[in-house]
Structure 1
Amino acid sequence: MTTINWGLIGGGRGSQIGPAHRLAARLDGLYNFTAGALDHRAEEGRAYGQELGLEPSRSYGDWREMLAGESARADRVDLVTVATPNNTHFEITKAFLEAGFNVLCEKPLTMTPKEAQSLIGVARESGKICAVNYGYTGYALVRHMRAMVARGDIGKVRMVFTEFAHGHHADAADADNPRVRWRYDPEMVGVSAQFADCGIHALHLATFVTNQRVERLSADCVSLIPSRTLEDDAMVNFRMSEGTVGRLWTSSCALGRQHGLGIQVFGETGGLRWTQEQPNQLFYTPLGGRTQIIERGEGGLSPEADRSSRVTIGHSEGMPLAFGNIYSELATAIHALKAGQTPDLGLVPLVEAGADSISAIAAVARSGNNNGQWVEL
């Protein structure tokens, strides 16, 4: 398999997410990091790109320069990752799709449901892949959990509880820290802060594992630090397409919590529990039986788990490896497109999933502003 030229927008020096994308994309030797517009400060972005090994002519000052430069090349990038602030995702993703590039966009996909629906149309018209980086779905045991639910190991799913709660924004004195402030700025993030930042990861995990969509929800949103315009804590009740009851908690003020992403699924004949901070174990409790620990990398797991497991049993699995599974599947799909074949994107979060999340964000904001009124998506 020939390598794919890959480009990154955002993710510059000091970025939280940039290193994870660079590690993930190059993990399997499937991509060449070929082009980048890594910083909103043009000269800083150019300099950092060259430090990372980009040719000077392909270390761009901004995304528009990169779009023009790569569009004019015969060896242009085949996949562009958008890892910029939320309010730029729509414009950049739309422009690159329309120019014939495949795109992996960081979440949230857009700022509004109207923009998200527009991107669905643009992606379909372009014939290119538009994926959204719900990278936690790349963990091997999350995929095994989905396979167990699909094959009926726990019976009909009655309830799912999911959470993403951390304490890293709990200090009110951090209000003017630019790395924190932008996350609660409506101009930068839209109508929701904590739910749009972390809560939608938890919600998407619920939809991915159960293979159901969220149909309606009720939200209680609060600003535990009163100076914040947008919420830093939310509790969301939701109902899914096959009748499953959902509960979700997300917070950035949960002191003592670190990453705090986890999911529990309760069925008629069994229950499952997984947390991202201990990703090597999936806890399975059959009705009337004892709790079992399923280890990543052990024999007898699902094909989805086997092909997503990269290190031998007992060794730590990390976030870049989970992201790497998304990149690997995108590489296979891009090669299929080039060969005129229909790509297999069954486990890749696509633009439609991203649009569902944007609808959920809007619904949470409406419900939260109306004392928890139930809202249809």
Structure 2
Amino acid sequence: MAKLNWGMIGGGKGSQIGPAHRLGAGLDGQFDFVAGALDHRADEGRAFAESLGIAPERAYGDWKEMLAGEKDRADRVDLVTVATPNATHFEITKAFLEHGFHVLCEKPMTMTVEEGEEIVKLARASGRICAVNYGYTGYSLVRHMRAMVARGDLGRIRLVKAEFAHGHHADAADAENPRVRWRYDPSQAGVSAQFADCGIHAMHLASFVAGQEVERLSADTVSCIESRVLEDDAMVNFRMSGGTVGRLWTSSIAIGRQHGLTLQVFGEKGGLRWAQEQPNQLYWMPLGQRLQVIERGEGNLSPEADRSSRVTVGHAEGMPLAFANIYSDLAEAIRAGKDGRAMDPAANLYPRAEDGLRSMAAVFAVAESGKQMGAWMDARPPMFR
């Protein structure tokens, strides 16, 4: 089977997210890394791309040069990953979709709800894939949680509780560090800091597992370090489309927490608990029975979990392998489209542009609710109301 061609924009030398994408895209041998515009500094970007094995003529200085160079090639890239600063996501994603490319965009997909609706409409009209990298949905046991909920193991879902809390921005003396400061500056980050950066991952994970969308929310947002304009801590209550109650806490000042992404799901017939820092174990408590520990890599889990587990039981799988599952989903979707067939249902799990749009609507709803002392807000984008 011939490999698909893959290109990347952003994620250059020293990038936090770039290596995870390159590992994830290459892990299963589905994609060849053939093109890139990896840095806003053209010469550095070209040099780094060539050091990774990209041919000089496809090591581009910026994304516009890459679009011009790729759009008419017979062997052009099948998938473009956008891993640039947040404010550039909309423009780049829109341009590549308009020229018929499939796109995987880092979150946030856009900076406004209106831009998000435009991307959703464009992706639907073009028939191109626009995926958003909510990469934590790639973890095998997260997918098994979703499957357990969907097949009714927990009965009706009553409550989901999500957290994404760390303490890496807790030092007030670090407030002027440029690597930290921009996150709390509305001119660079938009209307929200911690919720838009981390909390939205937790909210999307809750929707992904519960199979429901967030419809209304109420938020208490605060800047615990007073010099910050945007929030560094938020508590969000929400209600979902199937009647499930949601609770979410996100923080960047929680000293002692490292990453802190966890999800608990409570239904009529049992409860589930998963933590991203211990991703190989899923805790399952059926009503009236003993606590069970489900291990990643065990035999005969759900098709979704079996398909997304590569390493034998007892060995750790981490974030790059979760990213790899997103890329594997996308490879299956692209191949199915080329072949004119239905894709494997167990692979049809990659987050869509619609997820990116819903997330942006939630960001604005949280920001407005925080200003209004927790007033309940409609969290749906206008086109989905």
TM bin (shorter chain): over 0.9
Kindly state the Cα deviation for residue 184 of structure 1 after the two structures are TM-superposed: 1.9
Residue of structure 2 in register with 1:354 after alignment: 356
Q: Distance in 1 between matches of 2:166 and 2:71?
A: 41
From 367, 373, 376, the equivalent of 2:375 is 373
Bigger mean CA deviation after superposition, 343-352 or 31-40 = 343-352
Q: Percent identity?
A: 73
- SS state at 1:176 partner: coil
Kindly state the Cα deviation for residue 187 of structure 1 after the two structures are TM-superposed: 2.4
Q: Distance in 2 between matches of 1:169 and 1:11?
A: 23
Q: Which residue identity is paired with 1:108?
A: P
Bigger mean CA deviation after superposition, 233-242 or 175-184 = 175-184
Bigger mean CA deviation after superposition, 114-123 or 167-176 = 167-176
Residue of structure 2 in register with 1:107 after alignment: 107
Matched, 1:290 2:267: no
Matched ranges for 1:211-360 at <5 A = 211-343=211-343, 346-360=348-362
Q: Which residue identity is paired with 1:356?
A: R
Q: Distance in 2 between matches of 1:334 and 1:346?
A: 11
Kindly state the Cα deviation for residue 43 of structure 1 after the two structures are TM-superposed: 1.3
Residue of structure 1 in register with 2:120 after alignment: 120
Residue of structure 2 in register with 1:94 after alignment: 94
Q: Is the 8 A contact 1:87 1:187 kept in 2?
A: no
Q: Which residue identity is paired with 1:117?
A: E
Matched ranges for 1:32-111 at <5 A = 32-111=32-111
- SS state at 2:304 partner: helix
Where structure 2 has 5 or more consecutive residues not aligned to the other structure, the ranges are 380-385
RMSD (Å), alpha carbons: 1.1
Kindly state the Cα deviation for residue 155 of structure 1 after the two structures are TM-superposed: 1.2
* 1:39-91 deviations in Å (ceiling 9; x for gaps): 11111111111111111111111111111111132211110000111111100
Q: Distance in 1 between matches of 2:99 and 2:32?
A: 20
* 1:121-157 deviations in Å (ceiling 9; x for gaps): 1111211100000111111100111111111111111
TM-score (norm 2): 0.96
* 1:168-216 deviations in Å (ceiling 9; x for gaps): 1112222232322222222222111111111110000000000000010
Q: Which residue identity is paired with 1:355?
A: L
Q: Distance in 2 between matches of 1:33 and 1:183?
A: 31
Q: Distance in 1 between matches of 2:52 and 2:115?
A: 33
Residue of structure 2 in register with 1:195 after alignment: 195
Q: Is the 8 A contact 1:71 1:99 kept in 2?
A: yes
- SS state at 2:111 partner: coil
Q: Distance in 1 between matches of 2:52 and 2:307?
A: 30
* 1:347-372 deviations in Å (ceiling 9; x for gaps): 11000111111110010011011101
Q: Which residue identity is paired with 1:276?
A: Q
* 1:202-232 deviations in Å (ceiling 9; x for gaps): 0000000000000100001111111111111
Residue of structure 1 in register with 2:382 after alignment: none
Q: Which residue identity is paired with 1:284?
A: W
Q: Distance in 2 between matches of 1:254 and 1:225?
A: 12
Q: Which residue identity is paired with 1:248?
A: L
Bigger mean CA deviation after superposition, 24-33 or 36-45 = 36-45
Q: Distance in 2 between matches of 1:42 and 1:185?
A: 27
Kindly state the Cα deviation for residue 343 of structure 1 after the two structures are TM-superposed: 4.3
Q: Distance in 1 between matches of 2:99 and 2:174?
A: 41
Q: Distance in 2 between matches of 1:50 and 1:37?
A: 11
Q: Distance in 2 between matches of 1:306 and 1:340?
A: 25
Q: Distance in 2 between matches of 1:183 and 1:68?
A: 32
Q: Which residue identity is paired with 2:239?
A: R
- SS state at 2:104 partner: strand
Q: Distance in 2 between matches of 1:149 and 1:213?
A: 14
Q: Is the 8 A contact 1:217 1:237 kept in 2?
A: yes
Kindly state the Cα deviation for residue 342 of structure 1 after the two structures are TM-superposed: 4.6
Q: Distance in 2 between matches of 1:229 and 1:342?
A: 48
Q: Is the 8 A contact 1:85 1:188 kept in 2?
A: no
* 1:247-294 deviations in Å (ceiling 9; x for gaps): 000011111111110100011111000000000000001111111100
Q: Is the 8 A contact 2:223 2:233 kept in 1?
A: yes
Q: Is the 8 A contact 1:165 1:257 kept in 2?
A: yes
Kindly state the Cα deviation for residue 329 of structure 1 after the two structures are TM-superposed: 1.0
- SS state at 2:131 partner: strand
**What number of residue pairs does the alignment pair up?**
377
Q: Which residue identity is paired with 2:140?
A: A
Q: Distance in 1 between matches of 2:185 and 2:4?
A: 37
Kindly state the Cα deviation for residue 8 of structure 1 after the two structures are TM-superposed: 0.7
Q: Is the 8 A contact 1:195 1:250 kept in 2?
A: yes
Residue of structure 2 in register with 1:134 after alignment: 134
Q: Distance in 2 between matches of 1:348 and 1:189?
A: 26
Q: Distance in 2 between matches of 1:24 and 1:138?
A: 11
